A and B are shown apart, each in its own frame.
Chain A
Amino acid sequence: MADCEVKKIATRESYGNALVELGKKNPNVVVLDADLAGATKTSTFKKEFPDRHIDCGIAEANMTGIAAGLSTCGKIPFVSSFAMFAAGRNFEQVRNSIGYPHLNVKIGATHAGITVGEDGASHQCLEDVALMRTIPGMTVIVPSDDIEAKAAVMAAAETEGPFYMRFGRAAVPVINDRPDYKFEVGKAVVVKDGTDMVIFANGVCVAEALGAAEKLAADGINAAVVNVHTVKPIDKDTILEFAKKTNRVFTVEEHSVIGGLGSAVCDVLSENYPVKVKKIGVYDRFGKSGPAGALMKEFQLDAEGIYNQIKAAL
Chain B
Amino acid sequence: MTNKELQLTAANVRKGIVTAVHSAKSGHPGGSLSAADMFTYLYFEEMNIDPKNPKDPNRDRFVLSKGHTAPGLYSTLANRGYFPVEDLTTLRKLGSYLQGHPCMTETPGVDMSTGSLGQGVSTAVGMALAAKLNGDSYRVYTLTGDGEIQEGQIWEAFMFAGAKKIDNLTVIIDNNGLQIDGKIEDVCSPYPIDKKLEAFNFNVICIDGHDFDQIRDAFAKAKECKGQPTAIIMKTTKGKGVSYMENQAGWHGKAPNDEEYEQAIKELDEQIAKIGEA
Contacts and interface: CB of A to CB of B under 8 A. Distances in A.
Contact of B101 (A37, A119, A298): A119
B92 A290 contact: yes
B188 A59 contact: yes
Contacts of B101: 119-123
Nearest to A54: B188
B93 A290 contact: yes
Contacts of B184: 57
Contacts of B116: 84-85, 89, 122-123
9 contacts: A35-B180, A37-B180, A62-B152, A119-B115, A120-B99, A122-B114, A288-B99, A290-B95, A294-B94
Interface of B: 24-27, 67, 92-96, 98-101, 103, 113-118, 147-148, 150-152, 179-181, 184, 187-188
A118 B24 contact: yes
B181 A37 contact: yes
Most chain A Cβ neighbours within 10 Å, of B100, B101, B152, B179: B100
A38 B188 contact: no
Contacts of A38: 180-181
Contact of A120 (B95, B100, B188): B100
Nearest to A291: B94
B152 A121 contact: no
Contacts of A58: 117-118, 147-148, 150-151, 179
Contacts of B103: 120-122
A120 B94 CA distance: 10
Contact of B100 (A57, A123, A298): A123
A41 to B, nearest CB: 13
Contacts of B27: 118
Nearest to B96: A289
B99 A57 contact: no
Interface string A76-106: 0000000011000100000000000000000
Contacts of B114: 122
A289 B151 CA distance: 25
Contact of B92 (A33, A55, A120): A120
Contact of A57 (B26, B98, B150): B150
A288 B180 CA distance: 23
B187 A122 contact: no
Contacts of A175: none
Given A119-B115, A120-B99, 12 more contacts: A36-B180, A37-B180, A37-B181, A57-B179, A57-B184, A120-B92, A120-B100, A121-B101, A122-B99, A288-B94, A289-B94, A295-B94
